[in-house]
Structure 1
Amino acid sequence: MIPALYVAKTGLQAQDMNLTTISNNLANSSTTGFKSDRAEFQDLLYQIKRQPGAQSTQDSTLPSGLQLGTGVRIVGTQKNFTAGSLQTTDQPLDMAVNGHGFFQVLQPDGTTAYTRDGTFHLDNNGQIVTANGNALQPAIVVPTDAQSFTVGTDGTVSITTAASATSQVIGNIQTADFINPGGLQAVGSNLFLETASSGAPQVGTPGLTGLGTIQQNTLENSNVSTVNELVNMITTQRAYEMNSKVISTADQMLQNLTQNL
């Protein structure tokens, strides 16, 4: 009975962490460019009472043996980088990557972060920045006399001014992709950081070498499926209840044992 208590305890802990992952997905169902997480489970060490394949006699072996598991744990969370739906807006600074790739932004410490959130703004110098003030990279500054602002699918940024109706290019947006996006480190504020697991960023022109195109006046919605998350929440709740029932049953067996001794 005692081992069953500890095994069920690991089940409660794992399902509690799984519920935390699900609740974070649901909380970010309206977050621009958010990518959902999935908890990954792994069974713990086994106590080998009888080794599978051991000799039971000189001429025969054990077909399966006796192996007792010690529980479960969550070993990781896997980011789902499937694209969210695209929503058209009326803001010319709203952009979305239609396909693979991330926008590059410069953090205050000088490092580059990566995001799928294309909700951009202008700062007091006319530079394109995120909602937190991080500058888009490569840096693009929009002149104060700009009358129109256009971003092509290949990232070409052009404007027209009051003095000249002719379009003039003021910069080019480049996006980055990774060989293993799941290895990126999520740091909040819709930002990701490069890690040894993600590999080095492969920077290029949108629409070329496998990178997605840029869509202006568009934002990428969260890829969270609320229906799937609600179903996962129900199964998690039932698994938690069953592990609680195991603890209650083991406790009753121990109680009966102590009362009868």
Structure 2
Amino acid sequence: MINSLYIAKTGMQAQQTQLDVISNNLANVSTNGFKRSTAVFQDLIYQNLRQVGANSTEQATLPTGMQIGLGVSSVATSRSFAEGRLEQSASNFDVAIDGQGFFQVTMPDGTTGYTRDGKFEIDANGTMVTATGLPVASGITVPIGAKSVSISGDGTVSATLAGDTAPTNIGMIALARFINPPGLTPLGGNLYAESAASGQPDTTAPGTDGMGKLMQGFLETSNVNVVQELVSMIATQRAYELNSKAIQTSDQMLQKLGQL
């Protein structure tokens, strides 16, 4: 009877973790390039009260055993890197990746961060930066007086200067991809960092060797499906209620036992 109290408690904890993950997904439904997560669970160790295959007599063995589970635990959050919807934007510096790959940005400590958020701006020095001011890793600088800037599907960045008819190449946006994107470490701010689980980045030009191509004037939206998250939230709520009901039932049974 005491085991049922603990088992139901682990179930409530697991469903609370699930709700936390769902809440984070819904909170970021409008975040550019956000990738939804799901909680991963596993059952806990079992009490083996009767071994499968043990001898029941000298000539017979048990076809089944008797194992009592001790509940559930959350072991991971798995992130889906399915591509979000591409939406046209009003800014000429907004860029979306149509396919695989991550933009590379230079972090304050000099390391490289990775993002699917192509909401780029130009700072006071003409450097192409993210919305939080981190420069694009390739170091693209727009010259003063540039009339227009174009970003081709293969990552070539060109600027048309005053008095010129032909555009001038001012840089290249290379993309990186990983053998295991869910293994990347989320840093917040739409950024990820390389980890031992993700593997080392494979950097190449957009549109080559299976890498996604760039689309200027577009942004990738979150891949969160609101309807799916709401259905998961209802299922999580019901599971939480059932586990709490199991605790109440166990408590009532213990009260009855105490009255004997």
TM-score range, shorter chain: over 0.9
What's the CA shift for 1:145? 1.2
The correspondence of residues 52-201 of structure 1 with structure 2, limited to 5 A, is 52-201=52-201
What's the CA shift for 1:165? 1.6
List, as ranges, runs of 4+ consecutive aligned residues in structure 1 with deviation greater than 3 Å: none
How far apart are the structure 1 equivalents of 2:253 and 2:242? 16
How far apart are the structure 1 equivalents of 2:139 and 2:53? 65
The equivalent residue for 1:45 is: 45
RMSD over aligned CA atoms reads 0.6
Structure 1: unaligned runs, 5 residues or longer: none
Deviations along 1:137-164, whole A, 9 cap, x unmatched?
Answer: 1110000110010000000000111121
Deviations along 1:98-154, whole A, 9 cap, x unmatched?
Answer: 000000000001110000000001111100001111100111000011001000000
Question: Does the residue aligned with 2:38 lie in a helix, a strand or coil?
Answer: strand
Question: Does the residue aligned with 2:239 lie in a helix, a strand or coil?
Answer: helix
Question: Does the residue aligned with 1:137 lie in a helix, a strand or coil?
Answer: coil
How far apart are the structure 2 equivalents of 1:56 and 1:205? 67
The equivalent residue for 1:4 is: 4
How far apart are the structure 1 equivalents of 2:54 and 2:146? 81
How far apart are the structure 2 equivalents of 1:77 and 1:190? 17
The equivalent residue for 2:219 is: 219
Structure 2: unaligned runs, 5 residues or longer: none
How far apart are the structure 2 equivalents of 1:163 and 1:54? 90
How far apart are the structure 2 equivalents of 1:135 and 1:64? 62
How many residues in Structure 1 have an aligned counterpart in Structure 2? 260
- Percent of pairs identical after alignment? 54
Normalised TM-score (structure 1): 0.99
How far apart are the structure 2 equivalents of 1:255 and 1:225? 45
What's the CA shift for 1:70? 0.3
How far apart are the structure 2 equivalents of 1:214 and 1:121? 16
Normalised TM-score (structure 2): 0.99
What's the CA shift for 1:223? 0.2
What is the letter of the counterpart of residue 95 of structure 1?
V
What is the letter of the counterpart of residue 104 of structure 1?
Q
Question: Does the residue aligned with 1:135 lie in a helix, a strand or coil?
Answer: coil
